[in-house]
Amino acid sequence: MQASLKRKWRPRLWTVVLLVLGIVLCLPFAGLILFRFYDSQLVQQTEESLLTQAAVMSAAYAELYAAASGTEPPSWGPVSAKHAVFPSLSVNSETVLPPRPDAKPMTARPAAAYQAIAPQLGRIAKAAQAQTLAGYRLTDAIGNVFAGTAETGKSLGHVAEVQKALAGKSVSVARTRLREDSPPALYTLSRGARVRVFVAMPVFVDQTLIGTVYLSRTPNHIFRFLYGERFNLAKTAAFVGLSTALIGYVFWRFITRPIRLLIQRSQSAGHGDKAWKPPDQLGTREIEDLSLSFQSLTERLQSKQDALKTYTAHVTHELKSPLTALKGATELLRDDALAPSQRHRLLDTVDKGGKRMEDLLANMRAFSLADQSAMTGTCFLNEIRAQISQAFPALAIQLENVSLPLPVEARTLQIMLTHMLENSQQHGAQEAVLTVYQDGAATCLRIADDGSGISIGNTGKILQPFFTTKRDVGGTGMGLNIVKATMEAIGGGLSVVPANAGACFLLTFR
């Protein structure tokens, strides 16, 4: 019958272990995807670097232009955050602009002052480019490139960021990068590898705009480093694979295999008279403790079974005598000629035999319930205040009418209240009120809390074995049933009391 029941699907332990190992194996590769979140930060670092270079270059540009044109050197004034520029770019589909338009031919030659300073600024730009890898373009007041490292003799006045700089505003943009070669496949995971940062900064002399400094550079990205270290990464991947295999072996050797052996021993424990023994391969200390617990449990069960067999054999033997007497008396009572005195003696024999059988059966039933810990006695609620408060420090417990005695042993009451307060705490209670009162001949203990309460649909099910609404947080549905069985064992009862808020239960001692 049990074998035919449909079992709910649950993953096997080795399946869970393989899943965990797969996740561990994928973590290094998943980390590569997470590097994409650093793209914007790397772009801003590049932007900040270009802004710094542009500021230095614009200062040199202004000084040289003032000297070449015979005007007063520029006055920079005090340092102020009002005119400071800060990086602000981010890399996403909305902020990345299309590739930069190509340069156009000049419409007019730059003035003599620009031509005079062009060689010196060009040398400075080339020296800076050798160290920073940035592209330098210096334009006049209409966007003609008269010096720099690229596009000299061309016009960039039609480019959006240059136009804004010629209007007196520093501009930073990210544009889609055009590559002549095909990038490695790994670079496609990085947005920063597909853009180029452009910074355009206006140059002023005596509050007159004389031109712009236009810089560009491709941001650095993590995959450039990773691609260069691809062979070392392959070694690392091999190490990760071997480590994962080693972890799998450790799981199998110390967890999966010992548990499988425990299952096999447990399945064979109920067959024959062979005693249960723990397997030799026990793995971890916890599994060894579990195995020893199984052994202790089976020994106790075997001891109880042996005692029950002995007691049953004894009761069976004792029942033979009254049964024999009852059968004999019944046969003799069928004789209609039996004297009244003999009939009375035979009826007394039947009565004594029935009473004897009743006593034997009652004793047998009491023996079968001997493992229950319910004990009657007398105690006060105050006697267990410290124990239950210590067991539930997060629960505010109030005791009322503590001077009224309860007809139950203190240890038994503590066990029952532990189950009740655990139930309250699992349902979000912050406060529990325990009230003792007399109801006629019965003594009652009411347990009320401010938790989530009991729905109308669950009121009739709450005291059923294994019924719980907190199975996901460890609820077994046996706490209230244990209290109910214990109360019934000492002649009392457990009931649900309707409440406007929270849950309320009543222990009735009769």
CA–CA distance, 313 with 360 (Å, rounded to integer): 12
Is the dihedral angle over the CA atoms 415, 420, 426, 432 positive or is it negative? negative
CATH number 3.90.1300.10 given to 13-74+84-220: no
Residue 368: per-residue pLDDT: 47
Residue 479: per-residue pLDDT: 73
CA–CA distance, 209 with 164 (Å, rounded to integer): 12
Residue 24: per-residue pLDDT: 73
Residue 186: per-residue pLDDT: 52
Q: Identify the helix (H) or strand (E) that includes residue 175.
A: strand 171-176
Contact, 207 vs 76, CB < 8 A? no
Contact, 84 vs 127, CB < 8 A? no
Domain spans of the chain, in order of start: 13-74+84-220, 284-372, 375-509
Contacts 24+ apart (CB under 8 A), 491-498: 491/376, 492/408, 494/463, 496/454, 496/459, 496/462, 496/463, 497/446, 497/448
Whole-number Cα distances in Å, 500 to 281, 439, 451: 57, 22, 11
Residue 480: per-residue pLDDT: 78
Residue 125: per-residue pLDDT: 93
- pTM for the structure as a whole: 0.44
Residue 280 CB burial class (10 angstroms; 0-12, 13-18, ≥19):
exposed
CATH number for the domain whose boundaries are 375-509: 3.30.565.10
> Could you tell me which residues come within 8 angstroms of residue 286 by beta carbon, excluding any fewer than 6 positions away?
none
In the three-class reduction of DSSP (H, G, I as helix; E, B as strand; rest coil), residue 123 is classed as helix
Residue 32: per-residue pLDDT: 58
Q: How long a stretch of residues is the chain?
A: 510
Tens of pLDDT, residue by residue over 353-365, are 777 667 556 545 5
Report angle CA 363, 375, 394 to the nearest 5 degrees: 145
77: Cα within 13 Å, side-chain hemisphere: 9
In the three-class reduction of DSSP (H, G, I as helix; E, B as strand; rest coil), residue 38 is classed as helix
Contact, 53 vs 128, CB < 8 A? yes
Residue 287 is encoded by which pair of tokens?
């599994």
Class (C level, CATH) for 284-372: mainly alpha
202 strand-pairing partners: 212
Contact, 395 vs 421, CB < 8 A? yes
Tens of pLDDT, residue by residue over 224-270, are 666 666 787 788 778 878 887 887 787 777 777 777 877 777 777 65
Residue 363: per-residue pLDDT: 46
Residue 10: per-residue pLDDT: 66
Tens of pLDDT, residue by residue, the chain (510 residues): 444 556 667 677 677 777 877 777 776 666 655 555 566 777 888 889 999 999 999 999 999 999 888 887 777 667 666 667 888 787 776 678 899 999 999 988 899 999 999 999 999 999 999 999 899 999 999 999 999 999 999 999 999 999 999 999 999 998 988 766 666 655 555 665 678 899 999 999 888 899 999 999 988 766 666 666 678 778 877 887 888 788 778 777 777 777 787 777 777 765 655 666 777 766 677 777 777 777 777 776 776 666 556 556 655 665 676 677 777 777 777 777 777 787 778 777 778 777 766 755 654 554 444 345 566 688 888 888 888 889 898 899 899 988 899 988 888 888 888 888 988 888 888 999 999 999 888 999 999 999 888 888 888 778 776 577 765 554 556 677 778 877 877 778 889 888 888 899 999 988
Contact, 96 vs 175, CB < 8 A? yes
